[in-house]
Amino acid sequence: MSTLDQQLPNSADDMNPFAEVDFFDLEKSLRRPRTLMSVLLSGLVTVMTLLALGPLFSVVWMLFWRGGRKLSIAVFTQLPPSALEAGGGFGNAIAGTLIMIVIATLITVPVGVLSAVFLAKAKPEDKLAQAVRFAAKVLTGFPSILAGVFAYGAIVLLTGGFSAIAGSVAVSILMLPTILLTAEDAIRMVPVKMVEAAIGMGATETQTAWMVLLPTALPGILTGVMLAIARGAGETAPLLFTSLFSNYWPATNGHLNLMQPTASLAVLIYNFAGMPFENQVELAWAAALVLVLLVLITNLAGQALSSRQVR
Amino acid sequence: MSLAGESNGAGVGAAPAREKTSPESEVVIDCHIRELYYGTFKAVRDTTIPIVKKSITAFIGPSGCGKSTVLRCLNRMNDLVRGFRFEGHVKYGGQDIYLPSVDPVAVRRYIGMVFQQPNPFATSIFNNVAFGLRLNGYKGDVGERVEQALKQAGLWEEVKDKLHKSGLSLSGGQQQRLCIARAIATQPGVLLMDEPCSALDPVATRKIEELMLELKKRYTIAIVTHNLHQAQRVADRTGFLYVDTTQGGRTGYLVEFGESAQIFGDPQEKHTKEYIRGEFS
Ligand SMILES: Nc1ncnc2c1ncn2[C@@H]1O[C@H](COP(=O)(O)OP(=O)(O)OP(=O)(O)O)[C@@H](O)[C@H]1O
Ligand SMILES: [Mg+2]
């Protein structure tokens, strides 16, 4: 008799390896608390998801339905109509929003990303880094209207008038913390071993930052920039104090003029949506749709840009 | 007894022959560590290792005995560690690289490093290899040097059609060879390798070992390894570091240094004997 045989149990019952298992226990049944709980919770999750999706979809649907009707080439090329005038558009507001967002991005990206490098590389006990990080965190929750008041005091009063520049500064204040904090996170996510590799090759700290840290963190940095742009583009309150509004193109004598009151989509929506005229209200809807699409396009562009990197 | 002879005939037979290829036995790095601290922790003491030109020097020893620490001393990588303090000298071609007047960045351009974990950059294969050239503002034909480095690293055939693909898309063994290519593209004087095969399977390990023997013709190599067979197969000289934890100490030191054939065939020190016997049985 082999050793194997000896180990085998002799009765057929014992040979069944599942003899101990109660098959009934494995069955799914609503009478069981664990199954019931699981079904109930799954149901709850579904209901909550639908509840959350409801408003979201109705807003988007409303936007496309009401804004889409008015959308035409004229909307992009013409100036806002006066009170009872038919037609018209908000080409100047689109231009104004684009200009202010571009300037704000040009201000915030270098400042934000380079300070992020500083924060990510600073020693944990560095007082300056702690202060900057704290300020940035406070600023993320900064009421946007205060950014407007600040830019009003700092730029409008100083330069003697409402302007696109003042608007850009106000928006920059709102964009900066988002860019700074997401970029810091993205830079911190770069694996230490990559940094070691660069240092080991004889890269200076500056070269490491430019050639390894920033390129590797680029997708994360771009996400932050996109988020910041999405926030900045939609803000109305800070622009009311800074760029105000204008019924004309942001130019004088055919030249771009950044030092005069400038129209923006957000303020146009704010102004027109409350007017008792059908045409204006419809234009406000169309402007809202354009604003959403603009943000969407920047987002897609950002994604395309970051995925163009080799993978 | 000839442990070495049995497990790998070529290992011992080849060692003296290798010796003849570099008769000058010129020491490129003269490393003497009297005391080395991480903060208040004394990690290594009394370790003197001469690294000879165009040869392979291996560091072996139990985990935590300071092999990586010693290796990273040789190109001042430990400068990145906060609280690192070093007494002694590391002379590269006669010049003490720890003098305050020496720029560690420049040192690392002469003494390259390959790490335990493959660490390519998140960029294309080509850019990975070209990295060092760009750092140095290389004026010549970058493409040519990249191809040459990849060929020397034995990776060219596998990647020549996808140089624009990310370095991270390669397998572990390929990534490690990419890192070697990156390190040799700038033609450094010395190549330091910290357990370059620890993340690799036996086949990839063999490839890297063959590569090291090939690279030895041009470069001076210092390698840390846990694999004694590997040290025996590739190294001309071997240093055994040890830390005696039973005595409560945590400070590593060099126990024995010599020709690999001697260290593996006829170790003189008690600790070396025990360690080598333990690993081979
Ligand atoms: N950055 C560091 N900071 C503080 N202590 C360190 C640091 N790196 C290593 N040590 C300590 O120095 C000693 C030697 O470490 P080292 O990494 O050189 O060992 P090793 O021989 O390479 O070990 P292994 O074979 O496991 O890689 C260990 O006690 C370790 O804890
Ligand atoms: Mg180690």
Q: Give the phi and the psi of residue B263 in degrees, each rounded to 5.
A: -60, -40
Residue B32 has which token pair? 């003497």
Q: Which atom of ligand 1 is nearest to the CA of B59?
A: 21
Q: Which of A191, A203, A215 sits opposite B123 (nearest CB)?
A: A215
Which helix H or strand E contains B220, and what residues bound it? strand B220-224
With b for 16 or more beta-carbon neighbours within 10 A and e for fewer, the B84-119 pattern comes to bebebebbbeeeebbeeeeebbebbbbbbbbbbbbb
pLDDT given at position B17: 41
The answer to whether residues A184 and A226 touch, using CB atoms and an 8 Å cutoff, is no
Q: Does any CB of chain A come closer than 8 Å to the CB of residue B75?
A: yes
Of B68, B71, B224, B228, best ligand 1 pocket probe by most atoms within 8 Å of the beta carbon: B68
HSE of B237, CA atoms in CB hemisphere, 13 A: 19
Identify how many contiguous H helices and E strands chain B contains and give both numbers: 12, 10
Query: Contact B121/A198, CB-based, under 8 Å?
Result: yes
Beta strands in B11-99 (DSSP E): 27-38, 41-52, 56-60, 84-92, 95-96
Question: Distance, CA B81 to ligand 1 centroid (Å)?
Answer: 11
Which helix H or strand E contains B4, and what residues bound it? helix B3-7
The answer to whether residues B42 and B248 touch, using CB atoms and an 8 Å cutoff, is no
With b for 16 or more beta-carbon neighbours within 10 A and e for fewer, the B154-168 pattern comes to bbbebbeeebeebbb
Q: Give the phi and the psi of residue B48 in degrees, each rounded to 5.
A: -125, 120
pLDDT given at position B201: 81
- The chain A residue lying nearest B170, using CA atoms, is A311
C-alpha–C-alpha distance, residues B206 and B229, integer Å: 11
pLDDT given at position A14: 56
Identify how many contiguous H helices and E strands chain A contains and give both numbers: 17, 2
Predicted confidence (pLDDT) at residue B8 exceeds the cutoff of 60: no
Min Cα separation A207/chain B (Å): 7
C-alpha–C-alpha distance, residues A172 and B118, integer Å: 41
Question: Is the overall model pTM greater than 0.90, yes or no?
Answer: no
pLDDT given at position A12: 52
Min Cα separation A222/chain B (Å): 16
Residue from B121, B162, B193 to probe the interface with A (highest A Cβ count within 10 Å): B121
Q: For B156-172, how does the pLDDT look when each residue is reduced to its tens digit (9 = 90+)?
A: 999 999 999 999 999 88
Q: For B35-53, how does the pLDDT look when each residue is reduced to its tens digit (9 = 90+)?
A: 999 988 888 988 999 999 9
CA angle B260, B264, B266 (to 5 degrees): 105
Compute the CA torsion angle A276, A277, A282, A287 (nearest 10 deg). -80
The one-letter amino acid code at B155 reads: L
The one-letter amino acid code at B248 reads: G
The answer to whether residues A232 and A140 touch, using CB atoms and an 8 Å cutoff, is no
Predicted confidence (pLDDT) at residue B64 exceeds the cutoff of 70: yes
Q: Give B-chain residues touching A123 at CB under 8 angstroms.
A: 82
Secondary structure of residue B241 in the 3-state scheme: strand
Residue B111 has which token pair? 């003494």
The lowest-confidence range among A219-228, B17-26, B217-226 is B17-26
The set of residues, in sequence order, having a beta carbon less than 8 Å from that of B187 and lying 6+ positions away, is B218
C-alpha–C-alpha distance, residues A188 and A133, integer Å: 14
The answer to whether residues A287 and A268 touch, using CB atoms and an 8 Å cutoff, is yes
pLDDT given at position A198: 94
C-alpha–C-alpha distance, residues A154 and B246, integer Å: 69
pLDDT given at position B18: 41
Question: Distance, CA B119 to ligand 2 centroid (Å)?
Answer: 15
Which helix H or strand E contains B192, and what residues bound it? strand B190-194
Which helix H or strand E contains B191, and what residues bound it? strand B190-194
pLDDT given at position A16: 64
The answer to whether residues A175 and A104 touch, using CB atoms and an 8 Å cutoff, is yes
Each residue's pLDDT, cut to its tens digit, for chain A (311 residues) gives 444 444 545 555 555 666 677 777 777 777 788 888 999 999 999 999 999 999 999 999 999 999 998 889 999 999 999 888 888 899 999 999 999 999 999 999 999 999 999 999 998 889 999 999 999 999 998 899 999 999 999 999 999 999 999 999 999 999 999 999 999 999 999 999 999 999 999 999 999 999 999 999 998 999 899 989 988 998 899 999 999 999 999 988 888 888 999 999 999 999 999 999 999 999 999 999 999 999 999 888 888 877 765 44
Which residues lie with the beta carbon below 6 Å from any ligand 1 atom?
A: B 38, 41, 43, 61, 63-69, 81, 226, 250, 252
Secondary structure of residue A193 in the 3-state scheme: helix
Min Cα separation B196/chain A (Å): 13
Predicted confidence (pLDDT) at residue B114 exceeds the cutoff of 80: yes
Residue B264 has which token pair? 């593996």
The set of residues, in sequence order, having a beta carbon less than 8 Å from that of B231 and lying 6+ positions away, is B58, B60, B223, B225, B238, B260, B264
pLDDT given at position A13: 55
C-alpha–C-alpha distance, residues B261 and B244, integer Å: 25
Closest Cα to atom 5, ligand 1: which residue? Answer: B38
CA angle B245, B248, B253 (to 5 degrees): 55
Query: Nearest to residue A268, comparing CAs of A71, A77, A96?
Result: A96
The set of residues, in sequence order, having a beta carbon less than 8 Å from that of B76 and lying 6+ positions away, is B97, B98, B104, B107, B108
